[in-house]
Amino acid sequence: MRIHLRNIAIAGVLALAALPAAALPEGTSFSVDNIFYEVVSEADRTVMITSVNNKSQLPADLVIDKVKYARSVEGAEEEEFTVVEINGKAFSHAENIETLTIGKNVASVGEEAFASCTSLKKVKLGSGLTAIERSLFSGCETLKEVEIANGPAYIGDWAFADCPFTSIKLPDSVRTINDNAFYGCTSLESLTIGDSLESVGAWAFDNCNSLANIQVSSTNPHLCALDNVLYTKDVTELVFYPMGKGEGEFKVPASVEVIRPFSIMRNNFLISVSLSWNLKKIDSYAFDGCNALRVVSCNTYEPPVCRAYFSTGTTKDGSLIVPVGSKTDYEMTGGWMDFKNIIESSAGIAESEADNITARAVGGTIIIDGCGDASLIEVYNIAGNCVYRGAATTVSGLAHGIYMVRLGGKAVKVAV
């Protein structure tokens, strides 16, 4: 009888040993190759990376996707978990990582998770990532290549600050670029924007001295790029003029009403700027640090709101050119009154923005040349009201003032 009971007991132990180990409960921690994990979901077998020990032992080619773990229990088999989250600062200052691939199941990577990984050269981000958080790759001073899958909705403050890549392509999922996101990316030359971006934060590309090329998806309903300058889709607001754009002269499109804050700051190539006839507002610091700028032409009789903060070199050594009869108003208006040299101009024919089209004033009549037959012509007054629409190349009965003649999306300014 005793032998029989002993055999039953042994059989029971063997049977228990043969059973698969119970899944790790949520909150359980374990480590594999110096990386510490915590179970997020017992049922889904998902984990988050909480911290890293001895970062100098991490592999040069780091792939974050799945992890296998074998518990120190007799008979326990190796279990596979999916990484869905990485804690903030987890891999920061890991100096030996050279390439990083984050799998498609990772939805969240915390702030500064890979900041100051000074050997990191290439990053590939998976489609599950919902955001690129604050300072995620800031200070990665050798990061030359970044591939972002369609997924993140925004790029956080300082996310790529001081990274040396030469181009960046933002996927269609990105709707917002936060303040300082690409600050100090001095090697950045080319920016490609997808079809969802609608908001660009202050100083987002500050100190990007080489940035000269901006392309926007034609299906983006919020923004567009004209001659590598970023505007709202209807070209009524100037969003961003790149620091590396090397032309000395810039004519703001006639439709622009607002120049946004920080939009043209620190471009040291600009010498002359002709502001649009329809301009209503230059917002804060728009021309701050444009130290080479010497000629500003403002073509509205009524001075626009001006918070541009033109440099001292511009206001003291440069000239502000305004329409005849408006000098006193500019001298009494904030922002404009800082100019020591305000000049009135009575030019009858402005330079044309349209190929081979000219407009000239004779008395109270505008005569348009070079537009061909049966072309739709629109004439707008200084208030932006359409005073003529039709095919005639002679428009009479106009009061004294500045007019804009539009034809086929182009414009010619003329003083009557």
| In contact, 70 and 78? CB cutoff 8 Å | yes
Which residues lie below 8 Å from residue 297, measured CB to CB, with a gap of 6+? Answer: 272, 273, 274, 275, 320, 321, 322, 345
The pLDDT tens digits for 345-395 are 755 334 444 456 677 887 788 888 777 655 688 887 765 678 888 888 888
Predicted structure pTM score: 0.79
Question: 10 lies in a domain?
Answer: no
How many angstroms separate the CA atoms of 234 and 409, rounded? 12
Question: 295 lies in a domain?
Answer: yes
The beta-strand segments (E) located in 185-316 are: 190-193, 199-200, 213-216, 223-226, 229-232, 237-240, 249-251, 258-259, 272-274, 281-282, 295-297, 305-306
- Give yes or no: residues 33 and 170 share one domain: yes
Question: 193 lies in a domain?
Answer: yes
Last residue within a domain, chosen from 325, 346, 367: 346
- Give yes or no: residues 291 and 368 share one domain: no
How many angstroms separate the CA atoms of 196 and 229, rounded? 17
Split at pLDDT 50, 70, 90, the class of 70 is confident
Split at pLDDT 50, 70, 90, the class of 308 is confident
The pLDDT tens digits for 113-152 are 999 999 999 999 999 999 999 999 999 999 999 999 999 9
Instruction: Report residue 274: phi and psi, to 5°.
Output: -110, 115
Higher pLDDT, 336 or 412: 336
**Domain harbouring 311, CATH code:** 3.80.10.10
- Give yes or no: residues 340 and 260 share one domain: yes
How many angstroms separate the CA atoms of 62 and 35, rounded? 12
Whether the per-residue pLDDT at 84 is higher than 60: the answer is yes
| In contact, 381 and 371? CB cutoff 8 Å | no
Calculate the dihedral angle through the C-alpha atoms of 257, 195, 197, 270, rounding to the nearest 10 degrees: -50
> How many other C-beta atoms are found inside a 10 Å radius of the C-beta of residue 47?
26
- Give yes or no: residues 339 and 362 share one domain: no
Whether the per-residue pLDDT at 294 is higher than 50: the answer is yes
Query: Which range has highest mean pLDDT (13-22, 54-63, 72-81)?
Result: 54-63
- Report pLDDT for 3: 46
Whether the per-residue pLDDT at 340 is higher than 60: the answer is yes
Whether the per-residue pLDDT at 52 is higher than 70: the answer is yes
- Give yes or no: residues 60 and 191 share one domain: yes
- Give yes or no: residues 25 and 106 share one domain: yes
Split at pLDDT 50, 70, 90, the class of 54 is very high
- Give yes or no: residues 272 and 326 share one domain: yes
Split at pLDDT 50, 70, 90, the class of 1 is very low
Split at pLDDT 50, 70, 90, the class of 409 is low
| In contact, 232 and 239? CB cutoff 8 Å | yes
How many angstroms separate the CA atoms of 92 and 319, rounded? 50
| In contact, 171 and 125? CB cutoff 8 Å | no
Classify burial at 4, counting beta carbons within 10 Å of its beta carbon; exposed 0-12, middle 13-18, buried 19 or more. Answer: exposed
- Report pLDDT for 355: 53
The pLDDT tens digits for 2-24 are 445 445 444 444 443 444 455 78
Which residues lie below 8 Å from residue 143, measured CB to CB, with a gap of 6+? Answer: 120, 121, 122, 123, 137, 160, 163, 164, 165
The total domain count for the chain is: 3
What letter would DSSP give residue 7? H
Last residue within a domain, chosen from 312, 346, 380: 346
Whether the per-residue pLDDT at 204 is higher than 90: the answer is yes
Residue 376, token pair as written in the block: 């739709």
How many angstroms separate the CA atoms of 267 and 290, rounded? 5
- Give yes or no: residues 70 and 103 share one domain: yes
Q: Which domain holds residue 390?
A: 358-415
Question: 25 lies in a domain?
Answer: yes
Section 179-196 average pLDDT: 98
- Report pLDDT for 391: 84
- Give yes or no: residues 160 and 246 share one domain: no
- Give yes or no: residues 250 and 318 share one domain: yes
- Report pLDDT for 383: 58
Last residue within a domain, chosen from 221, 248, 279: 221
- Give yes or no: residues 25 and 148 share one domain: yes
Question: 290 lies in a domain?
Answer: yes
- Give yes or no: residues 327 and 368 share one domain: no
Question: 410 lies in a domain?
Answer: yes
**Residue appearing with tokens 């804690």:** 87
